[in-house]
Amino acid sequence: MPLGSKSEEERLVVVGRALGKLTPFTKYLDQFLDEYGYSPSVGYEAKRFIEIRFAKRFKYFETLSSDDLKGYIKERMSGSDGDQAWSVRSVEKNLGFVKVYWNWCLDNDLITTSNVIDLPRQMQRKNNTKSQRKKTEKSANLAYSVEQAWLLHSSAKEENEKLADLILLGMYTGCRIGEVAGMRLEDVHLDRFNVVDSKTESGIRSIPIHTDIMQDVERMEQTSTDGYLISGLSAKNVTNDRSKGIGKRFGRLKNSLGFQDNVHTYHSFRSTLASRFQSAGVEELFAALIIGHKAGGMTYGLYAGDLDWDKAVEAMAKVDYKRAA
């Protein structure tokens, strides 16, 4: 029975629901669009296609197969579904949105289902020169260099101190943007940040405060007017997400400095801190636990609560951004 058939899909849905493993395709879409840094017009296109077109056809990550995609592409390029036929460019653009979104979900440990979108194979043609130049998904969340990180920080400081603080905390904690924006004063202690609300179990952790930013953290605490470390962020949305507005501001800033949407994001600071740990010779296990990755994957099964605090402090002290005067 073909995987894409109606009865087989229904069977997978029943099994998936019983196991608690079905993830609606649009579950993390708004969060992705807020954090990824697309321009407003491109973000609108991505949301419109994924939400209105794609997710109505394919409802769950776990039930979508490569063969399903092949059939969908053939149907869309022929116009056999009654809509205007897609060009090759339309296929690459629209399904490119889906592929980037899927990879972002994987990078953020939100899903475990492997990305089935492989356009050259599913379109039964080789990559052309243009698509080879893009390679957007493989480059997503590329680490900022030390110079690039400070360029973002200094440029933000000229525009908005809250945005500069967001960048600084990303550099020195490896926190996701939602973790930084949602951090309350009660979560900040003399020597550590306590992340108490995260997307994953491994994200619940304590992070040593680097000596380089202690004065900045004290300033943020002293000037806060609403109980949050970064004070005054708007949360006028149904999810009460304080990162939305400032996330869009960050996206505009990095785009103005020439960083590409599909290569560098706020999430890239996690990769940046990981590279700083690596340069300092910090053992990968400790770096993963501080940043909030499940250490060693399913084999180790270790989480931040298993990390020796003195070793965590020692590891963080080795991080060096060689801050320019």
User: pLDDT value at position 297?
Assistant: 42
What phi, psi does 193 have (nearest 5°)?
A: -100, 135
Q: Which amino acid is at 270?
A: R
For 288, phi then psi, to 5°, come to -65, -40
Please report which helix (H) or strand (E) contains residue 206, including its range.
strand 205-208
Cα 125 to Cα 87: distance, rounded to the nearest angstrom: 14
Residues of the chain scoring pLDDT < 70? 1-20, 80-83, 119-140, 199-200, 236-240, 294-307, 323-325
Task: Say yes or no: domain 146-317 is CATH 1.10.443.10.
Answer: yes
pLDDT at position 3, please? Answer: 43
Burial readout 131-150 (b: 16 or more C-beta within 10 A, e: otherwise): beeeebbeebbbbbebebbb
Closest CA to 77 of 69, 115, 5, 128: 69
Name the β-bridge partners of 193: 188, 207
Distance CA 49, CA 27 (A): 15
CA-to-CA separations, 28 to 23, 32, 102, 105, 132, in angstroms, rounded? 9, 6, 10, 8, 28
The residues spanned by each domain of the chain are: 6-137, 146-317
CA 282-288-293 angle, to 5 degrees, is 170
Q: Quick one: pLDDT at residue 154? A: 95
- By the 10 Å C-beta count (0-12 exposed, 13-18 middle, 19+ buried), 75 is classed as middle
The predicted pLDDT at position 149 comes to 96
pTM of the model: 0.58
